Chain A
Amino acid sequence: MEISNLQKKLNEGKFVITSEIGPGKGTNLEFLKEAEIIKDKVDAINVTDLQSSVMRLGSLCVCHLLIDMGIEPIFQITCRDRNRLALQSDLLSAYVLGIRNVLCLTGDHPILGDHPEAKPVFDLDSVSLLKVASMLMEGKDMKGNALDGKVEFFLGAVVSPCYEPIDLQIIKMEKKIEQGARFFQTQAIYDLKKFEEFMKRVEKYKVPVLGGIVLLKSAGMAKYMNENVAGVSVPDRYIEMMAKAKKEEKVKVSLEIGAELIKGMKDMCNGIHIMPLGWDKYVPDLLYLSGLI
């Protein structure tokens, strides 16, 4: 039985579109407008969990607000800030608040954020978090104690198809599947050849993969990502295209690159996951250019 639309659509073999929003730093809910813009164009929206290790409004609360807006959320939960008690408790809370899709991640190190002195928790990791969530679904906590009322989740995880060494990613992906991951969203893809090779290797697991899309905002951003973001390599061709584009043409060129990538990966995977990083307003255009709407 399917417990979310995301799961239902993937089970039916339909091509799925997800996107994401990042809660702001404070109580201003202006950012929810971004979700409103893409609401009817996507199947579900991820809510990031203190993305980049910056203290912000929480993912659990915003997922709940999305449900009120008629949007299906994907609750991102990381192991950076909570120990095993808090993680299990938040998973129970998520279920009670109507959240059904949960994406389990390790999380960035706090040193990278705005509270670099914070104690890094990492009591569980993405793999053990999936196992714990699977146990809650069986009506038990991780110690095997019975729950008075269990949870039902569609569990997901992440994978980085252009990571080196790739074997290490695939081994971890396999462990995530063994512990309950039923769908994957990937790191941003710019190298379709590498992505295709990766998809061929993981095909045997029969677990849906949504290819990650991040729109390039400038040549500088692409160069920065190549240098600093794990598993991301933007080809020179795209960097040149962005560098050559006049200021008023940047968005157009960026969307063309995005559409080229989406068209290229459409037949390789089960859906796409768009990380707009503030460019939510261009997501409908991107989907149109890609032939998806």
Chain B
Amino acid sequence: MIYSELKPFEEILKSLKEKSVFFILCSGCAEVVRVSDDKSVEEIENKLKENQKVITGKIKIDFLCSKNLIARKLSRHIDKLSKSSSILVFSCGIGVQCVSKIVDIPAYPATNTIYFGGFQGLWPGEERCDECGTCYLGITGGICPITFCTKQLINGPCGGTNKGKCEIDPNKDCGWVLIYEKLKNIEKLEILKDYKEPRNYKLIEVSSKLRKKIFYDIDKNEEF
């Protein structure tokens, strides 16, 4: 089960520079802890409309960590997607990464992933989420700097990138070169210029209260 919390609305609004937004919700493990329950999603929808955004559509996909599934489901919404200049994703960090890989429309996380407790989703790809609690995927073209950069850098690459590869392994792609290429592709390179404050490591310590709550939720759900 995955525990995420919604990013503050101001942060979501700040990241969404585009006019039109398509919502993608994961109803896999994320739903169990009601991250993307209908009420909070609706609230965000309304607030975005109040801020002159156009919501082009909203779909739920069982497991956003499955890229095949995303491609299949999204293919039925090509019309709406083609009218969307951004996507807001309600899922764990892996879901956002998978959506970004499938679609060349800027995808932004609506949540911070805090804790993967117990059973996790299908997760068949190379994407990883570090449960950092500060999802950076909205500013990195959906490629995670925490799991793809060996030094977990958040302000751009180190000087060690050699021919697009990481200094520690000539066969490992440099995460920041991947981020650069993706952002260039979706014409969002200017995002790279924003300074990112040092990461808050307090967030990786999950409270025992939260741990209990998650296991309680699993037990409760298994009774049904």
Contact = CB atoms under 8 A, between A and B. Distances in A.
Same assembly = yes
Interface of A: 84, 105-109, 111-112, 120, 122-128, 131, 142, 158, 160, 163-165, 167-168, 171-172, 174-175, 178-179, 187, 228-231
Contacts of A123: 198-199, 201
Given A111-B168, A165-B177, A230-B161, A120 B151 contact: yes
Given A111-B168, A228-B162, A230-B162, A168 B157 contact: yes
Interface residues of B, number: 30
A108 B159 CA distance: 9
Contacts of A111: 150, 168
Contacts of B45: none
Contacts of B168: 109, 111-112
Nearest to B156: A172
A108 B160 contact: yes
B224 interface: no
Q: Is the interface of B mostly helix, strand, loop or mixed?
A: loop
Contacts, number: 86
Contacts of B199: 123
A127 B159 contact: no
Interface string B190-218: 00110111110100000000000000000
Contact of A127 (B152, B155, B184): B155
Contacts of A179: 195
A123 B152 CA distance: 9
B167 interface: yes
A171 B159 contact: no
Contact of A230 (B154, B160, B189): B160
B153 interface: yes
Given A172-B157, A174-B193, A122 B151 contact: yes
Contacts of A108: 160, 167
Interface of B: 150-164, 167-168, 176-177, 180, 184, 189, 192-193, 195-199, 201
Nearest to B195: A175
Contacts of B150: 109, 111, 120
Contacts of A158: 159
B197 A128 contact: yes
A182 to B, nearest CB: 17
A7 B149 CA distance: 34
Given A106-B159, A230-B162, A125 B193 contact: no
Contacts of A228: 162
Contacts of A125: 151, 153-156, 158
A165 B164 CA distance: 8
A197 B184 CA distance: 21
A80 to B, nearest CB: 8
Contacts of A128: 155, 195-198
A160 B151 contact: no
Interchain residue pairs A-B with the least CB separation, the first 7: A127-B155, A172-B156, A106-B158, A230-B162, A122-B151, A111-B168, A128-B198
A65 B152 CA distance: 34
A230 B167 contact: yes
Given A160-B159, A168-B156, A172-B155, 18 more contacts: A106-B159, A107-B158, A109-B151, A122-B151, A122-B152, A123-B199, A125-B158, A127-B156, A163-B159, A163-B161, A165-B177, A167-B180, A168-B176, A171-B189, A172-B156, A175-B193, A230-B160, A230-B162
A262 B153 CA distance: 33
A163 B198 CA distance: 25
Contacts of A105: 159
Most buried by A among B153, B195, B198: B198
